């Protein structure tokens, strides 16, 4: 049976589901490859295909923002050749898919300490973000060299700088000041956080933003995830009773 969100999708994305911002921890590429006796890179390549499918579905489902955890600040611990493969895939992805994103009005954003990446990749990212910045369609935010604790430290540093320069009174610091210093400043509030592959943890992803997000865990490995899996997650979200601490 088609899900409600899928039927929205079939009818041009009239989104009554209320999910504005969905974030995904794309996990399970390695296990997907292992099951097929393939090298891990084959799992990551299939993961890029899933990114394409899901980015398209997000647009059709009327999401305002889709945030994807592509490389964490802890992923540097992986073997150097796997890190290099992931960086290469990311570069190819931006080079090959940017035109389609742009043609569809997508705005590309990056969260995380991406400036520490290879300078050529940093340039490519900044050009892609700049090229799509005036678009008015959905936002695809890619988390690169992202760690929520690092993001909060950087937000704290920016607050301290504002205090030191006399722009901000320490007693007046509020939630908005922290949010303004996060990489996600300006993005809609996070509604739904999905993790694939059966693991049930946040792994340093969007810890602040997840304060009132609904969490959704699925056993599906990331390379098998697609538009109907996203629609199913959004259907589950629609049934949640969100109270934000109230009654």
Interface ranges with ligand FPP (CB under 6 A): 26-31, 44, 47-48, 51, 68, 70, 75, 86, 89-90, 93, 142, 197, 222
Catalytic-role residue among 8, 27, 97, 183: 27
Task: Give whichever of 177 and 224 is closer to ligand FPP, judged by the CB atom.
Answer: 224
- What residues contact 62, with CB distance under 8 A and at least 6 apart? 8, 13, 14, 15, 17
Pairing of strands 107-111, 65-72: unpaired
Whether 191 is a known active-site residue: answer: no
**30 is an annotated ligand-binding site residue:** yes
Ramachandran assignment for 188, one of left (phi > 0), alpha (psi -120 to 50 degrees), beta (any other): beta
In angstroms, give the least distance from the CB of 238 to ligand FPP.
26
**195 is an annotated ligand-binding site residue:** yes
**72 is an annotated ligand-binding site residue:** yes
Rounded to whole angstroms, how far apart are CA atoms 130 and 92? 18
Whether 224 is a known active-site residue: answer: no
The CA-CA-CA angle for residues 145, 196, 202, to 5°, reads 50
**246 is an annotated ligand-binding site residue:** no
Task: Give whichever of 90 and 234 is closer to ligand FPP, judged by the CB atom.
Answer: 90
- What residues contact 106, with CB distance under 8 A and at least 6 apart? 55, 59, 132, 135, 137, 138, 139, 140
Query: Residues comprising the binding site for Mg(2+)?
Result: 27, 214
Annotated binding-site positions for substrate: 28-32, 40, 44, 72-74, 76, 78, 195, 201-203
| Catalytic positions | 27, 75
């Amino acid at each position: 049976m088609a899900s409600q969100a899928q039927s929205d999708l079939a009818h041009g994305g009239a989104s009554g589901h209320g999910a504005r911002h969905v974030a995904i921890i794309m996990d399970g590429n390695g296990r997907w490859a292992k099951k097929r006796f393939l090298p891990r890179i084959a799992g990551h390549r299939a993961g890029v295909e899933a990114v394409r499918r899901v980015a398209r579905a997000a647009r059709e489902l009327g999401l305002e923002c889709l945030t994807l955890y592509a490389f964490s600040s802890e992923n540097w611990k992986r073997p150097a050749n796997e890190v290099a493969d992931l960086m290469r895939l990311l570069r190819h992805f931006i080079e090959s898919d940017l035109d389609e994103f742009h043609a569809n009005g997508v705005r590309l954003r990056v969260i995380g300490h991406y400036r520490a990446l290879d300078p050529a990749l940093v340039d490519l990212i900044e050009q892609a973000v700049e090229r799509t910045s005036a678009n008015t369609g959905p936002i695809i935010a890619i988390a690169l060299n992202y760690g929520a604790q690092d993001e909060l430290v950087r937000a704290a540093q920016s607050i301290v700088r504002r205090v030191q320069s006399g722009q901000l009174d320490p007693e007046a610091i509020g939630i908005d000041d922290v949010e303004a210093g996060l990489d996600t400043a300006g993005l809609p509030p996070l509604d739904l956080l999905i993790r694939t592959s059966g693991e049930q943890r946040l792994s340093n992803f969007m810890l602040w933003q997840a304060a009132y997000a609904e969490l959704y865990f699925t056993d599906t490995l990331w390379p098998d995830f697609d538009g109907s899996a996203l629609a199913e997650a959004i259907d589950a979200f629609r049934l949640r009773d969100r109270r934000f601490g109230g009654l």
